[in-house]
Structure formats: structure tokens, C-alpha cells
Homo-oligomer: A and B are copies of this chain.
Amino acid sequence: MPTFTAEELRDAGTRLFRACDAPEEDARLVAGELVEASLMGLDSHGVARYPMYVAQALDGTIRPGAPIRILRETAGTAIVDCGGNFGIVAGHRMAEIVAEKARGPGIACAVSRRCNHVGRLGAFPQRLARDGFFAFATVNSSRHGHFVSPWGGREGRLATNPLAWAAPGEGTPVVMDMSTSMIAEGKIRILMQEGAQLPEGCILDAEGEPSTDPRKFYGPPRGTILPFGSPRLGYKGFGLGLMVEILGSALAGVPLDPPGAKSSYVNGLFLLAIDTEAFGESRVFRGLLQELFDYVSSSPPAPGTEGVVLPGSLDLRTRETRSREGIPVAEETWRLIVEAGRSAGVAL
């Protein structure tokens, strides 16, 4: 597989998004975050998204440079109209808003409207944790992404609805980023292309019967992904996914799309920050957190493992390796990126 340096991929992305009329700073931010996800091994949220973002910018779904405005606010809350700008640009602006607000009452949250794909969700709490906050984030998707069945149901009613948190220890923040479903749609596609089977308990076919055949998910007719915890405890994952849906839609005042209609949003982002200074000296909080991380990590390894894995630490390890050795990009992915460049008038 061809490999690229992070710098090469950032340059390519920046040029692509500049050619779609994104302001220089925004183009750099979006490319930078996608490359960051690629560095961390989260390829489905990495540079493989370049072609989608370019296509959406060219067809008007993404409106580069669109103003991002607070529609309604209180001292600790905001509804943010992202105006169809890149979701990554919007998410970072929302993180700034939440951070600024949280310095007042000690806690604040924001919800989005007209928000496009936000990329790696963990990026926003991670940024807030670097600034000393405990941060929490969720993101839902419009009806078009409702692949996940509710507990007891056989038709999709939720997206894979991830949630994330981050907390500042004494080193790099610990970042947890998880979907509330059994498997990501992208992983099912990869297994289907490889002719492989899924682990048990991940999907239902269109009749609602459990299956391990990825083709049963795509159909037609389409099956569903089961909520996290299935087959036995899927009601928990469903409950978490439903919370993410509430925070991303109802709280933001966004109604369900009518069936078949084009949605006014791709993602509904909820961001929350707690200013740990409100509870005492942040130095003390960081110390207590580090003590906790050390205590948890001191559990001796279970057989067959390399020991305790703190949330996000494997991603950080991949980041180190790929920073050193380059980022592998599948040939087909690179071909699509080059093609996207052509459609935007950029030779890569």
C-alpha cells in the first residue's frame, strides 16, 4: 500500500478544500483533522473522506466559509447554526463557544443546527481537555443514517450515534470515543469486500433474524446493525444511542426529517465542557486524575493481553508509528482522492 507523510496529505487536503472556496484557515483545519484521524489509524474518518467532502462542497451540501452563528444562548448554553459549513470547522467553533461559556458558570453545552459531517468526534473533547476541561460530546445523524435497530425492533431507527469524553491527566488527555452500535457500517463493507463473516450478534437481516453475513445487511432489502451490548444486553446500547439522538436533535429543536426528504443536517453535535477549576485547583484535579489512571493501569495483565489499555491509548500508539513510518492509503482511496482533485480543478 502506498504511504504518505502527514505533511503530504495535509497539503493535498488543504489544496482540495481551497479549490472548493474554503478560506485558507478552514481548509487547513479540515485537512489537518482528517489527517490526524488517519495518523491515529481511524481510517474511516481520515483522508478517505476527502472525496466526500469535495463532492459535498461542489454540490452545495457543504458551504465553505458560511458564517457560524449563535442562534440562541444563555450563560451556559447555545444553539449554534453551523450554516452548512464543514462540520469540522463548526465543531471547533462550538468548542470555542463552549470553552468560553464554561469559564463563567463552570459548565456549558452547545448543540448544532445545519451541521455537516464532523469527522472524528473525539477531536472536540480532546481539544477541550487540552485546555483543562472535562469534556463530553455526542453526535447523531439524520434519518438517512438510521441503520441501527432499537432494542426489540427490526428496522433501523438510530445511527451508530457515537459518544466521546476526554479528561486532562498530567500528560496527553485520555480520550474515549465509541459508537453505541455493535459495529460501524464501514467495517461491514470492508468484511463484505473481503468475503469474510461478521462476529455473531452484530446485525439482523431484513426479517430481523440474526446473521453473520455482511451481504444480509446491505440487501436489498436492507438489514440493521444491532445496538452495542447485543445480543444479551443491547438495551443498554440502545439507551445510550437514544440519549445521543435526543441531544443531537430534540434538544437542538430539530424535528425528524420526513421520510425521503433531503435533510437540513448530516450530523447533530452536542458538546459539553466542565471547568474543573470550578471544583478546586485544576492542578489538584489533574493530579487526582493521574493517580486514578495509574491505579487503574496497575491491574496486572489478564492472560493473552498486554495489560490495561486506557481509552485512546492504542490510537496514540498508532499515531506514533504512522508519524514515523508514514500513513498507508489504499490505492483505491488515493485514486478517488486524485479524481476528487480533478473535479475541483486540482492536480495531485
Contact = CB atoms under 8 A, between A and B. Distances in A.
Interface of A: 72, 74-77, 79, 104-109, 111, 134, 136, 149-158, 165, 167, 174, 176, 178, 182, 199, 204, 207-209, 228-229, 232-233, 235-236, 238-240, 242-243, 245-247, 249-256, 272, 274-276, 278-280, 284-285, 288-289, 291-292, 295-303, 305-311
Contacts of A300: 153-155, 208
A247 B176 CA distance: 14
A171 to B, nearest CB: 15
26 contacts: A72-B278, A75-B105, A75-B106, A76-B278, A77-B105, A105-B107, A111-B279, A149-B299, A150-B296, A152-B299, A153-B302, A165-B243, A178-B235, A204-B302, A208-B300, A228-B229, A229-B229, A235-B309, A238-B311, A242-B296, A246-B289, A250-B289, A250-B292, A253-B279, A253-B285, A256-B292
A212 to B, nearest CB: 13
B255 A74 contact: no
Contact of A291 (B151, B252, B255, B289): B255
Query: In the complex this chain forms, how many copies of it are found?
Result: 2
B105 A301 contact: no
A156 B299 contact: yes
A41 B207 CA distance: 32
B204 A251 contact: no
A144 B101 CA distance: 38
B252 A279 contact: yes
A249 B299 contact: no
Contacts of A153: 296-297, 299-302, 305, 307-308
A129 to B, nearest CB: 11
A176 B157 CA distance: 18
A251 B228 contact: no
